[in-house]
A and B are shown apart, each in its own frame.
Chain A
């Protein structure tokens, strides 16, 4: 009886968690890969593991601080959670040519895309950068955050762990 009750309780928790973790699907928008070729956001994928989408720009100091901080530990993040970080630059044609230079110069291992006319930025309702989204294994947005302060990356990692383990994050 106790075992049955326990099983039922677990089922309830799973359902509630599942219901809460129901995120929303990202819109499909045509942007560019780092070679300036067309890329549709429907192709964003990480084999059922969590994805972080981070909107940034070469002229945005807090954005670079956030991505450079995560870059130092990115290997460990991948090992632990299987996460993939996708950095979407909103630099327009003034600075977009310098994005590959910056990304290589900093030796980032992220997947980087270019959104020079803000198509993806608007579709994701981003007001200003940095703006970070966390997606679950079904590629649904379960959490988002605007701006960056040192230490925010720990909250992001904590949430990524939860998503990776299939736990509810709220």
Chain B
């Protein structure tokens, strides 16, 4: 009987707590967020060019707190740089709330005031985005209105972009409309056909306070896009035009900007092909015309490279390509094919083959020599968007080329093997800003073997080699990574510049890491030498300087 009473009381308590919890949820909404803390102790290492850091220890950290109740959303972000890690813009200094917003969104009507991120079409004339690992946040602080009805999607934005702990001097205004014909016409559309198209316009205002030049205070850019899907075929295209926008990037010339991008693809189960091309001229578009920072400050638009994004470090960080907004023509083809399992070539589990080719070159341009009395060019040059430029010696003005093939195969329950080959051409004088330096031609090979020891533990080994007669010569990378699911990993890696012509500079870059993961929390410790290299996420890259020391990082979502 006593047990019965205890249980009854227990039920009453549990029930009331449960009800309260539910009521609380209904009444108070949800709070979630994440944080990312990263600190590094630096050892000076003059051999590899790692500088002495006076603070010895540097730190970047941020936390996002988001609140959500029904159709109401609000959030803020706090950032702290004590002082900022090497490789990030020095303007990140101190602490503060760098993002805050309130939003009402019922799925049809969406209104935001405060900081927001947005993209029109491909981002050719507007993309505000957040990539903290690269130090990029060009959010717009202002107001955004979005509305959709029966397949017509409207967006309007106005505001100033974030510039570290300050704001851009220019104001960004923009609008976008998209029509999804299948949603508008429903059954009246032909079967297996999907069509949508859209238009966008962006204008920036910045006061003209230049004493020598008469500058346009309002600069308009506009564009149109369309996509058609028929059965397994897809065609997408976007064209944008930007009025003259003299700025620090283009040498204050009064030339218009243009960009055209086309993509065609064919996809069925086990096989896919994508072919893309873009051509562009003078597409620098920032909300401060006087800023030409290498850290992508206040860019309104976004033009990524049309090349494969590699993940193995010798391919990804030694000679990667970055788009040239000044002008380029680029092509890319990507094919993926899964050889069926149970066939002679496919093996027991099937084999995946991925082939990719990309090419980027300068446009054909003609200098106008139209320099005026104060030494300022007016138009600067004329260009042909559909012709590849030539160098003075008659060869094509190629910036980059990359052919690569990747084969992945599960051999049996224990082994998974991946082999990658790459051949690349890299225009070093342009991409590293070193006039007169010759191209790099390199062959790269990677073998990646995953060995599953038992249900929880596995070992992954990588062997990479980069072979070239230019720049610093040959490189090798060796990596061993042991993971014990679901919590632990340990890895040891060494990059070795064994082929450097200067024997004293045949450096090793060893680094060891250990990490602990619990659900959405991850703690990592690593110690060793970090080679100077280029670190990319999505379409943008950041130069990471050489360093030597201990890095601690903690990330968590809740």
Contact = CB atoms under 8 A, between A and B. Distances in A.
A4 to B, nearest CB: 7
B269 A127 contact: no
B539 A144 contact: no
Contacts of A36: 196, 227, 236
Contacts of A144: 519-520, 557
B25 A22 contact: yes
Interface size of B as a range: 35 or more
B180 A94 contact: no
A147 B486 CA distance: 9
B236 A38 contact: no
Interface stretch (A5-13, A45-53, A73-81): A5-13
A118 B455 contact: no
Most chain B C-beta atoms within 10 Å of own C-beta, residue among A65, A125, A128: A125
Interface stretch (B9-17, B206-214, B286-294, B470-478): B9-17
B25 A125 contact: no
A70 to B, nearest CB: 14
Interface stretch (B27-35, B240-248, B434-442, B497-505): B27-35
A149 B336 contact: no
Contacts of A131: 520, 557
A38 B455 contact: no
B234 A100 contact: yes
A93 B302 contact: yes
A143 B558 CA distance: 10
B162 to A, nearest CB: 15
A97 interface: yes
A127 B556 CA distance: 8
Nearest to A154: B455
B458 A151 contact: yes
Contact of B267 (A58, A60, A61, A100): A100
B66 interface: yes
Given A1-B4, A127-B36, A146-B522, A93 B122 contact: yes
A150 B302 contact: no
A145 B62 CA distance: 20
A152 B229 contact: no
Main secondary structure of the interface of A (DSSP, over half): mixed
Contact of A106 (B304, B338, B458, B484): B338
Interface stretch (B41-49, B90-98, B125-133, B373-381): B125-133
A100 B272 CA distance: 8
Nearest to A7: B7
Contact of A125 (B1, B484, B521, B558): B558
A25 B17 CA distance: 20
B455 A104 contact: no
Contact of B180 (A25, A37, A152): A37
B7 A9 contact: yes
Contact of B64 (A60, A98, A125): A125
A102 interface: yes
Interface of A: 1, 4-5, 8-9, 11-12, 15-16, 18-19, 22, 24-25, 27-30, 35-38, 40, 42, 57-61, 65, 72, 90-95, 97-98, 100-107, 116-119, 122-128, 131, 143-147, 149-152, 154-155
In the complex, the 3 A-B pairs of residues with the closest C-beta atoms, listed nearest first:
A105-B336, A151-B485, A94-B304
Interface of B: 1, 3-4, 7-8, 10-11, 14-15, 17-18, 21-22, 25, 30, 32-34, 36, 64, 66, 68, 71, 73, 105, 107, 110, 117-119, 122-123, 127, 129-130, 133, 146, 148, 153, 178, 180, 182-183, 194, 196, 227, 229, 234, 236, 263, 265, 267-274, 276, 302, 304-306, 309-311, 334, 336-338, 349, 352, 354, 450, 452, 455-458, 483-486, 489, 517, 519-522, 538-539, 555-558
8 contacts: A38-B148, A38-B178, A59-B538, A101-B265, A101-B274, A104-B268, A150-B458, A151-B486
